[in-house]
Structure 1
Amino acid sequence: MPVLFSALLPPDDVVGEITAALGDRQDGLRWEPPERWHVTLAYYGQDDVGTRAAWLGERLAGRGGVDVRLEKAATFPGVLWLTVAGPELTPLAHAAGAGAEPRPYRAHLTLARFPREEPGLAARWTSTLAGFTSRRWRATKVALMTSEREPGGPRYRVARVFELDRA
């Protein structure tokens, strides 16, 4: 069974904004390629795509789209990420199952990874991206994603897409 999670995928122009803000990235961090950028709503682990899709479809039925904007960088141990602004996102994430996870939900978009014992590697980027703000967009789709291990890092694929009400 594949590993599954649900996510919002940033629009192409927002991906372009992030890419432009990052510029040259030759600094020892392991950068996530733009095709893997996403905002996780909930992680499910190994699960059956059909079963999880039916469950998620019921949980998202009738839910409206949410306004999202990416902002300044921050870190978790070993992870550099962009914060996500949008108060409507947390209720959507909880509907998608984020509340079942042991840690509190923290909306973010992972940019890079670095050794936990070297937090200074990311310090330049938290400073460089302190004023970053993407345009706000209306997320009207939730993707059920699969994650497969590959030599160059995980490969994410969209298994199903759920439309949110556009109102």
Structure 2
Amino acid sequence: MSLNSPTETQRLFFALWPEQALQESLARIARQVLGKQGKRVRPENLHLTLVFLGSMTAQQRACAEAVADTIVGSPFTLQLEQIGHWPRPRVVWCAAEETPEPLIELVKQLNQGLTACGYQPETRPYRAHMTLARKVAGRFPTTRVAPLVWQVDHFCLVQSVTHPSGVQYQVLRTWPLVI
């Protein structure tokens, strides 16, 4: 979708986008843990959201991209080793036992910079996770899984488009994390 008028918007977010092999490993874990319960996220849609921006105009998107251009961050390793469940949103997720400091710093820099674009940061503490499934009823105690090691060296601006067949994500731009 191209933005031809100032009133058209795109639904955008910044994210870490894993390689296909990691997406497939996460999808396999979701199948093992959930069986037929809930609505699993399609493997090609698995990602870790940094900042959800929502509906943005072309001007707001340009501002967000300018902020991303200023980010200084280091590559880091993210070790995904926990599967958990949040009963209220009915989400099953995968996360690291400990969030790496460079990831926390990346989110902090984005949030601070995006305030100049009119973005209001989340008031809840940031919880780095990858949603594996939605609409999951019942209880799932947090469990450890064999660690999936992810070498993170970039972040992305992603567009979310809803189709009758489901949500499709499109990576619009990437920025490297360099020392």
The TM-score normalised by the length of structure 1 is 0.80
Residue 44 (structure 1) aligned with residue 53 (structure 2): yes
From 79, 94, 102, give the equivalent of 2:123: 102
User: Following TM superposition, by how much is the alpha carbon of 1:57 offset from its aligned partner in structure 2, in angstroms?
Assistant: 3.7
User: Following TM superposition, by how much is the alpha carbon of 1:63 offset from its aligned partner in structure 2, in angstroms?
Assistant: 1.3
Residue 79 (structure 1) aligned with residue 91 (structure 2): yes
User: Following TM superposition, by how much is the alpha carbon of 1:27 offset from its aligned partner in structure 2, in angstroms?
Assistant: 1.9
Unpaired runs of 5+ in structure 2?
A: 1-8, 113-119
Q: Alpha carbons of 1:131 and 1:2: their partners in 2 closer, same or farther (altered >3 Å)?
A: same
Which residue type is aligned with residue 80 of structure 1? V
Equivalent-residue separation in structure 2 for 1:109 and 1:62 (angstroms):
22
Q: Alpha carbons of 1:62 and 1:79: their partners in 2 closer, same or farther (altered >3 Å)?
A: closer
Identity level (%): 25
Which residue type is aligned with residue 106 of structure 2? L
Is the 8 Å Cα contact of residues 64 and 140 (structure 1) preserved in structure 2? no
- The CA deviation string for residues 79-124 of structure 1, in whole angstroms up to 9 with x for no partner, is 0001134222111012122881132111000000125xx333xx27
User: Following TM superposition, by how much is the alpha carbon of 1:153 offset from its aligned partner in structure 2, in angstroms?
Assistant: 2.4
Residue 69 (structure 1) aligned with residue 82 (structure 2): no
User: Following TM superposition, by how much is the alpha carbon of 1:62 offset from its aligned partner in structure 2, in angstroms?
Assistant: 5.1
Which residue type is aligned with residue 111 of structure 1? L
Structure 1, 94-103 or 141-150: larger mean CA deviation = 94-103
Is the 8 Å Cα contact of residues 59 and 96 (structure 1) preserved in structure 2? yes
From 43, 51, 55, give the equivalent of 1:34: 43
Residue 153 (structure 1) aligned with residue 166 (structure 2): yes
How many residues are matched?
Answer: 158
Equivalent-residue separation in structure 1 for 2:93 and 2:174 (angstroms):
24
Unpaired runs of 5+ in structure 1?
A: none
Residue 14 (structure 1) aligned with residue 18 (structure 2): no
Equivalent-residue separation in structure 2 for 1:20 and 1:144 (angstroms):
26
Structure 1, 94-103 or 105-114: larger mean CA deviation = 94-103
Q: Secondary structure at the match of 2:147?
A: coil
Residue 132 (structure 1) aligned with residue 146 (structure 2): yes
Is the 8 Å Cα contact of residues 18 and 47 (structure 2) preserved in structure 1? yes
Which residue type is aligned with residue 132 of structure 2? L
Equivalent-residue separation in structure 2 for 1:30 and 1:155 (angstroms):
15
Q: Alpha carbons of 1:60 and 1:83: their partners in 2 closer, same or farther (altered >3 Å)?
A: farther
Q: Alpha carbons of 1:62 and 1:94: their partners in 2 closer, same or farther (altered >3 Å)?
A: closer
Q: Alpha carbons of 1:48 and 1:159: their partners in 2 closer, same or farther (altered >3 Å)?
A: farther
Which residue type is aligned with residue 88 of structure 1? P
- Root mean square deviation of aligned Cα: 2.4
Is the 8 Å Cα contact of residues 20 and 44 (structure 2) preserved in structure 1? no
